[in-house]
Structures are given as structure tokens and as C-alpha cells.
């Protein structure tokens, strides 16, 4: 996908949405990536970067067009452990964004690097262990210091991980009960997978674990607005309470699947099976418990 077709896709639905479809309720997106092809901010060696940008300015235009007040930026893997572009955006647009950084979890200096990035303006750390043995660092000897530093700094730990890694996460959550932990994308548990869902629901006993009910477009077996995901969201609501659920677009990952406008509309217009209070939690209050914007 080239930049021109990407931008067409990202705004395709803006003109077709009726103006009254954008409500006055505050919306805060918990999960977006930004990047820019620039010699000033080089990508990591070997990174598989799309040929389009999603700069902070591109994102701000989309936010205004779709009634999104604030956004949490998650350090994109294209830069790996180099968080300079993220920090640049945070400094240029104070109050618009929070930023979640990455550090190398296999580097003993990672806790000190996290402290530096927190002082520079980031609020949160993201770890991304996979399912294979290559990610067994997640249960290794460097983890206690990194989790403890998050707890000491009072910044959330956000986890992109498969359901098979949730028991490993539970070990650290148990050890650091005062740390806020956010599980990205429902641990990618697909619709109807009861076994994996039980691993996710088991974390509800920890009162500081939050869940992003994102990635419905990849977890559902049905077309938009993914009605087969309703049961899963309700189970999460019953287990965690709406105060610990939050939405997120994960824009611009696979933009050809669903535009930004449609991702926003999915949560704004298609959570009618929840009460007004529950929707308000998911759309902005839960996010602000982890990333305060003062709205």
C-alpha cells in the first residue's frame, strides 16, 4: 500500500458519516502508532516499514475529523528501542498525547533506560513477548528489576502477548500488586475460543489489570461491526467491570482492513449492548485512570 492509497483509505468514510453521528462524549484512543520517514529519526535496521507515514500531524487531523479528543501513543516496532520520534511528538504537542515507550528487555540496563524515558516524558512501558522459546526472557532473571522499576516510577506496564503467555504475566502481576498492567488487544483471543478466554479472565482477580478490547477486526469471524465479539466483551465486562476496559484503534496497523473512521465508529456507535455508564468508562474514563489527561 502506497502513501496515496493509505491516505485515501484513512479518510474514505469521513464524508459519508452524518455529522450527528459524532457525539459530544469525550473519546480517548488508548492505542495508536506514529512514525515518519526522516533522516532525523531513522528506523531500526531491518525494520519492515510501510512506505507511508503516519505522522503526529496526520493523526491529529484524523482525531479532529472523528471527534477523538486525546490519544495514547505506543512506540512502534519500526524504531525498536529508539524512542526519539515518540518523545519529539510528546514535546511538540503537550497535552494531546501520552506516550508508552519500549526498552530492550534483554538488556540489564533496561530499568535505568526506562527511568530516563519516563523523566523525558513517557508514561508507560510496552513489552511484547511472543509464544516461542525465543521470548522466554519474559520469565527470565531480568524481569524482576524491570517490573519493579515500573512500580517504583508508577508507570503502567502494557503487554502485547499471546494468551499462552498470560500465566507468565500472572507471576509478575502477583509479585508487583501495586503496578497497573494493561493487556493489549484482549491477548488476541479470537471469538469463541473458550480455552484462551479463560486464561484472560483469570487475570480479573488482580484489581490493577486492565484490558484493551481492541483488534475486534482481526479476532472476529463476522463482518463489521463484529457481532460475534459481543459475548466476549460481556464476559470481560462481567469479570473486570467496565472500569477496567478501554477501547483502542491500533491505527494504522493493516489500514486496508478497516479505516480509522470505522474503527472509531465501532466503539462510538456499536456498543449499545452496554449501559451509558459502561460506554463512558470504555470510551474515556478507564483510559484516564491509567493515562490521566485531566478531561
**φ, ψ (nearest 5 deg) of residue 206:** -95, 115
Residue with cell 498492567: 181
Q: What is residue 25's predicted lDDT score, i.e. its pLDDT?
A: 76
pLDDT at 1: 52
Give residue 23's pLDDT: 46
Question: Are the C-beta atoms of residues 155 and 179 closer than 8 Å to each other?
Answer: no
* This prediction's pTM: 0.92
Output the pLDDT for position 19: 35
Per the structure block, which three cell numbers stand in for 44?
Answer: 531500526
Q: Residue 121 to residues 73, 95, 98, 189: CA-CA distances in angstroms?
A: 12, 11, 8, 32
Cα–Cα distance for residue pair 164/131, rounded to 1 Å: 7
pLDDT tens digits, one per residue of 96-151 = 999 999 999 999 999 999 999 999 999 999 999 999 999 999 999 999 999 999 99
pLDDT averaged over consecutive 10-residue blocks of the chain (295 residues)?
48 37 74 97 96 96 98 98 98 98 98 98 98 98 98 98 98 98 98 97 98 97 98 98 98 94 98 97 98 94
- CA 94/CA 112 separation, integer angstroms: 24
Which residues fall within 8 angstroms of residue 57, CB to CB, at 6 or more apart?
none
The string of DSSP letters for the chain reads --HHHHHHHHHTTTTTS-GGGS-SS--EEEEE--B---TTSPPPTT----SS-B-HHHHHHHHHHHT--EEEEE--GGGTT--HHHHHHHHHSTTTEEEEB---TTSTTHHHHHHHHHHHT---EEE---SSGGGGGGGSTTHHHHHHHHHHHT--EEE---GGGHHHHHHHHHH-TTS-EEEGGGGGPPTT-HHHHHHHHGGGGSTTEEEE---HHHH-SSSTT-GGGHHHHHHHHHHH-GGGEE----BTSSTTT--HHHHHHHHHHS-TTS-HHHHHIIIIIHHHHHS----
Domains of the chain: 3-290 (3.20.20.140)
| Rounded Cα–Cα distance for residues 48 and 57 (Å) | 22
- Sheet of 209-212: strand order equals 125-127, 157-159, 181-183, 209-212, 245-246
The whole-angstrom separation of Cα 162 and Cα 200 is 10
Amino acid at each position: 500500500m502506497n502513501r496515496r492509497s493509505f491516505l485515501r483509505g484513512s479518510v474514505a468514510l469521513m464524508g459519508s458519516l452524518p455529522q450527528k453521528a459524532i457525539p459530544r462524549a469525550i473519546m480517548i484512543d488508548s492505542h495508536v502508532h506514529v512514525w515518519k520517514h526522516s533522516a532525523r529519526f531513522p528506523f531500526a535496521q531491518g525494520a519492515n516499514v510501510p512506505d507511508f507515514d503516519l505522522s503526529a500531524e496526520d493523526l491529529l487531523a484524523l482525531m479532529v475529523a472523528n471527534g477523538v479528543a486525546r490519544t495514547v501513543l505506543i512506540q512502534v516496532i519500526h524504531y525498536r528501542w529508539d524512542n526519539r520520534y515518540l518523545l519529539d511528538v510528546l514535546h511538540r504537542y503537550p497535552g494531546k498525547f501520552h506516550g508508552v515507550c519500549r526498552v530492550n528487555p534483554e538488556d540489564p540496563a533496561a530499568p535505568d533506560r526506562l527511568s530516563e524515558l519516563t523523566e523525558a516524558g513517557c508514561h508507560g512501558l510496552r513489552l511484547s513477548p511472543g509464544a516461542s522459546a525465543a521470548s522466554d526472557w519474559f520469565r527470565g532473571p531480568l524481569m524482576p528489576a524491570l517490573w519493579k522499576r515500573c512500580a517504583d516510577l508508577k508507570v503502567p506496564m502494557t503487554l502485547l502477548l499471546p494468551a499462552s503467555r498470560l500465566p507468565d504475566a500472572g507471576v509478575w502481576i502477583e509479585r508487583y500488586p501495586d503496578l497497573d498492567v494493561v493487556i493489549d488487544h484482549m491477548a488476541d483471543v479470537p471469538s469463541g475460543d473458550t480455552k484462551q478466554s479463560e486464561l484472560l479472565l483469570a487475570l480479573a482477580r488482580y484489581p490493577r489489570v486492565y484490558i484493551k478490547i481492541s483488534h475486534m477486526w482481526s479476532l472476529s469471524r463476522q463482518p463489521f461491526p463484529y457481532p460475534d465479539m459481543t459475548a466476549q466483551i460481556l464476559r470481560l465486562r462481567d469479570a473486570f467491570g467496565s472500569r477496567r476496559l478501554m477501547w483502542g484503534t491500533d491505527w494504522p496497523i493493516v489500514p486496508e482492513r478497516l479505516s480509522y473512521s470505522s474503527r472509531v465508529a465501532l466503539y462510538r456507535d456499536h456498543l449499545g449492548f452496554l449501559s451509558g455508564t459502561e460506554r463512558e468508562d470504555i470510551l474515556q474514563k478507564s483510559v484516564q485512570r491509567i493515562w490521566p489527561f485531566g478531561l
